[in-house]
Structures are given as structure tokens and as C-alpha cells.
Structure 1
Amino acid sequence: MKENATSFAVLLCGSLLVSMPVDAQEAGTKGRFLTFGVGQRLQYSNNSELTPTSLGSTTEAITYLNFGLTTDTGSSSFQVDANLELRFAAASPESTTPTGLNNPFLGIRYQTLSAFSVFDFNASLRQTTLNQNQSVTDFDTGSGKRGNYLIGSAIGWGKDSPFGYGLSAAYEAIDYSGTSDPGLIDAQRFKIGANASLALSPTTLLTLGVDRSDFKEEGASSGDLKIGGNAGLVVRRANGDALSANLFVDNTETGQLQGVSAQYQIALPHGSLSFTPGLTRATTGKVYWTSDFQWQQNLPTGNFSAEWSQEVTSQNENNEEILLSDVSLSYAYDLDPLNSLRFNLDWAQQVYTANNDTSSNASFGAVWSRTITKDWNLDLGYIYRLSDKSADDGAQNNTVYLQLNRKFMSNY
């Protein structure tokens, strides 16, 4: 799953540009805050489990609970986030739609800055019910639950000097329970990395990195050893634009993965644009076009964003090499100060490079949102989901919902 790979990569690369860091505290407000959120949703779906043949319609009452705690002193920050669902469903006897407590999440992050160093610690626990409407980049199938457990840290020195260096480590465990798909197997991944950066000039930065990862599935005699390295060059222009180039090599048990990419970041008057074209030679010997395109634009009556990416990766549950592509479009339109419309269109596809086994997901969402008071708002929404697995027939689901939300923040 792509979101697993992304979170894992963030932990390992957090101290890469240690001589040119992004100070997260600069974007926020210093102090201590508590945030609370509650949402009550009534929802109807005609195929909530997204099976080729619907098991019947489902009516659900879902309570969403969110909690956050933030302490920010400017030189250090501590953050806790927690989410939980309480779900009651009326469904057909054949349905496996869960009831009760569902999809819990707990995340902790700590960061401290000094005149010379940066330290970052991250940990999270997440449980996901597989037969519910998840992200289009989630390709796990069947019923049951998946637990993701992640812990990692990164430390970098030379924050304000021309030469910087750092270390990082992360551990992830994936645990399945009550699943109907025998291909979902528990696994663990451990990764350590080292990196360095050298400022060639006030606007030019050279980066180097090396990492090693071990992946092991339950019941396997030994893990899959991966050793990789990368080198990059970043050039920042006076107008805020940035140009960069990157090379990487990963050695795996099935062969060598090689790639090259370039990135151009543009600061627009009312938005931003980033484009990263590249080429990757897979372990099969085939060369794939890769890219990462992100465009965000603020409009007089709303905002628009578009994202498209394609990458060759093995940072998934089974560590097999895949070509992962996804497209996301989002548009928000403010009808007036109290009413707004939001539209989302998402599509994702994964292709196993060894045998071209292909799966794809798509979704479309439309939401009308009404602000009732400063803390309360009401959403009326529609979601369409489409799933097409190579080994099964396609499946579709339509969902309509009405949700009342409240979110507020207080100092402590």
C-alpha cells in the first residue's frame, strides 16, 4: 500500500537535507493546544464491501471521535493525534460489515532543534477494516483487519553549517487478523540509513545517502536484504524556484533497481507547481517512465489541486516490485460564506513487474458543506467506488451520507 511506503520513507529521509531544514514550527503557532472533533454520520451503501456480487445494502450510523494535543516551544514540539470510530450497521446476514469500535489510530511525534542539530521521533498504531471504503491506493482485498505499527527516528547535525550529516532508523510491522484472503501475510520491515549534505554555494546543495533494509514475512526462513544509495543536487533560485536532480540504486534479491529523476518547483502567484520526471530500470530489466506532478491553485471562490505520480517500488506489504500509478483531482467552490461544494476524483493502479498482474481502484466524491456556527458544520455527500482486480470481476459501490461535525480548539 502506497501510504505505508510513504510514511516509512518520510522517517528515513527526514534528516537528509540537514543543512537546509524546514522548520515546522515556523508554520504554526507556539503554545499548548488541545483539539477535539466529533462527527455523527448516517450512511447508506448498496455494496459497502465492494464485492463483485453485492451482499446487500447497508445502513450505518457512525460516530467519529478525534483528539489532538500539541506543545510547541519553538525549539521543541510534541504532538499526539488519536482517532476512533463507533459504528452500528444494519446489513444482510451474509455481510461482514463490522459494528462497535473500529479503525483506531494513535500517532506521536516529537521534534527538537538546537543551534547545530535536529532530532525527530515518530510512532503510530493504526488498525484498518479491509472491507470498508479505503483509499484508492489500498489494494488489500477481502474481509478482516490490518494492523500497521511504525516507529522511527532521525537525527541530523550541521543544521546551519555548509556540511551536514545524519542517521535514521525505522521499524514497521504489518499484522493481519480474521482475513479471508490467504495472500495477506504478517510481515516486518527494518531500515537504517545514513546521509550527508554539502553546500557548494549559498544556493547549491549536494546530498548523498545510503540505506539498508530487511524484510521478513511470517513463516519465511530469512528476510529480504536490500542495500541502496542515492545522490542528489539541489539548486535554488532567487525567485523561490528550485531545480534538483537525483540518482539512486537499490540492490535486491531479485536484481538491481536503478533510477534517475529531475525536479522543478515553481512558486506561483496564488499557488505552487512541482514536476518530477524520471526513468527507472526495474529488476526485470524493463525501463519505466516515472513522474510526480503536483499543482495547487487558489481561486477567487475556492481552490483546485491536481496530482499525478508513477513510481517503481517494493515498499508494500509483500515486498514485491510493483509499478504504482495514481491520479487525484480536487476542486472546492465557495457558494457563499456559509455554503461550499467539494469534488474529488481519484484513480490508482498497481502492476507487478514480474508478471504484469494488474489491479486498479477509482472513486468520485461530491460534498455540499454548510457552516452552522463557528464550530459546527453539516455535510451531505455522495461517493462512488470502483474496483477492478485482475483475478476477480470488477465491483462497484454507491454511498450517500449526512454528517454533522464539530471541531474546536482550546489552550491548556
Structure 2
Amino acid sequence: MNLNNLCATFERDGFSNDSYYINARYSAKISKGHLAELLGLPTHGKLFPFQCLLVIEHPEITHSFLKKLILHDKNGDMVGFKKTATEGNWLIGYKDRRGSKLSEQKVKLNPSTTELIEKIIKITKPLRDFLKERHDDTWRELFITCGFGFSTPSSAEYPSWNKSAFKGHPKYLDMLKDQFHGHTTRRDGELEAFLARVSISTLRASSGVLVYLKTKSVAEMAKALGHARYDTLLMKRYLPEAILAFFQTRWIRIFQKGFICEAMKDSPYLLEAANFSSMEDLHSFLTNHALKCVPQHLSNPEHTMTEKETSADHNIKQVLISIDPGIMTALVSLEKAVDAASTPEKICGRATYWADLSRKVVAEINRGNDYLLKQHLSDALSHCNPEKMKGLIYETSSRA
């Protein structure tokens, strides 16, 4: 029998776990495991990749949520998977650890995970029909498998991907390695160690860490993991201690850098003290200090402009810039670093912007007669350090 005949027979008769029927209709020469694979049946472990992909996209999904997830109620109505035209598509289950009032959990699906659920429903339909005819309530569940071939369909069990399981089933490990070879450069022991770490729990933890790295917020991480409230102790289960410690000290360093910048903004030694590590940091400092709003009593000390004229943008004839030795030193250093750049086409937009502003400010100070401003410029020129700016001006334009 060729594959077309096998599939036609299965489509006509549906799933059966009767060995006599299987041998008579399909051929005793084909092993049940191979036959199940040819027919695309959800055998043991075959739905695990679907579950992993769901968890990666929606880290609030837990092991308990997926276990025996009910797709249909007793009347046959679909309750676990809801598709709506206006509110999107939802996977609905229960998470017992949240308590009775919060046990129902609704996960809003995206287009890719909606497609995953629809595929799972199609794949498991033959088993579902078989169980329904026999009044076995397992038919109502989303994840159903038929063992390693044509066993009686039952609730899907999670495969054990760990060192002890691999040691007891070397052929299973070899099969997994072959499947992963096309998707990773890991081989032999390194690949085995990687596979031994794959589980719903580790995938959730990794996805939670990604949210934390993007948002720097443990509250957002807790929300992404589906926690009813933020719990420090619970977060420590997901966030590696080294990463948590790094970001906790990072915020301390940010505040310390802020104090240094504020304290040294009037000093020509600002660059040495602050040691800006990125164009973004320098841009924020200059924006907050060089282009800050000038108080009304300083910009219009004689009160010669009316309130209406002050608020009208089209009446503004000049731009007021706050200048002191620290700011001037930063601007001149940046300007000279941009002018000396060996690859000017790679300079980021922010560096070009501040260098242009520096040229205009220097020209304005030189043209005027303000002694204090000229002193600030003189201090800046004597303390400027283009070398400190070289590493900042080439940052990518996406950050500019």
C-alpha cells in the first residue's frame, strides 16, 4: 500500500486502536509507530513543540494551565478557544495556584498562536472523534495523544527531557539530536546539555527575563508571567541572581552619575568626572542643561513683552542657550571630535546636531563682547578633550 492508500483508508475509517484491524487494513509489515508518523498522528511528545511555542509567545501560560486544558464543555460547545471579530482570539483555561477567584485565566492570542491552536485542533480531531464515540470525557481536552503508536488516546503527557531520561533512552536522545542538528551548531554533549534544560518552566523563565531586559521593570515581568501581583520572592525564581544584582546596582550608578553631572555642570572638569559612556547619556545631559527653559525673569528682565507676545511662537526672534564651563567643554570637545572624524559619513545624527550647535554658539560668543561668556569659552578650549568623544560619535543612527 502506498501513502495515498494509507491516508484514504484512515480518512474513511478514522482512528482505531484494534491491532487486528490495523494489521488487516494497513499491513502488518509497517510498525505502528512508523504508521502513526506517516498519518501525522499526535503521538507521545509530538504536541510538546506546540506547547513550547505557545509559552514563548505567552509566558503567562503555565504547566498547570496547559495540563488537561478543556476545549469543549459537556454539551460540545467550544469554551477553551474563543474567536471574536472585535476583541481578538483567546485561549481560556485555569491556573489553580491563583486561587478560586482568579483561577480562570484568559490568554489573548496573536495571529501565529491562533494558527498553532487551530493546527492542534485539526491534528487531534481523529483521536477526539474516537473518544467521543466511546463517551470518554478526554475528548473535551485540547492536548490528546495516542501513545507511541495506536494506543488508546489519552491526555498528553509532557516528555521528560533530562539527563536521567536520556541515559535510559539513548535512541530517543539520538532522534532529538537529529531533529535539532539543522537548527543549531551545538553537537554531542553540548547539544545534550541544552536539550536537558528545555521545559515549560525554563521557557517561561527565559521569556520573563527577556521582558525584564527590555523594560527594566520587575512589575512588567510579573505581568508578563501572569502573576496576580508583584512578589519579590516569586520573581527571584525566574530572574537570575546575577542579572537582578546587575540591574539593581545599575540604577544606583545612574543616580550617582546624575548627582555628579549636576554637581559638576559649572566646572570645566565635567567630562573627566562624568565620563559619559554613550551618546544617549551625553544627549540627555545637554538637552536637560544646555537647552533647558530660561526663566521669564531672566529672558525678559525689563518685562517689555506682553503675555500674548511671550506665548506666541511666531514672535520668538532668538534662541536662549544656557552656557557654563562644563557644558561649553562638552560641546567644544564633541565639535572637535566630529571635525577630526576619519569616517564622517558614519557619525550619528545626535553628534552632528550638537557639533553644529557648538559651532554656532562659539561663533556667537566670539562675535559678542560678553566677558563672562568669553571666559567660559576660554576655559572650555583649554580643557576640551576630543579623545573622550571619539567612542560616542559613531553610535548607530537608530539611536540618534
Task: Tell me whether the two structures share a fold, i.e. TM-score over 0.5.
Answer: no
- What is the TM-score normalised by the length of structure 1? 0.18
More helix by share: 2
Structure with greater proportional strand content: 1
Q: What TM-score, normalized by structure 2, do the two folds share?
A: 0.18
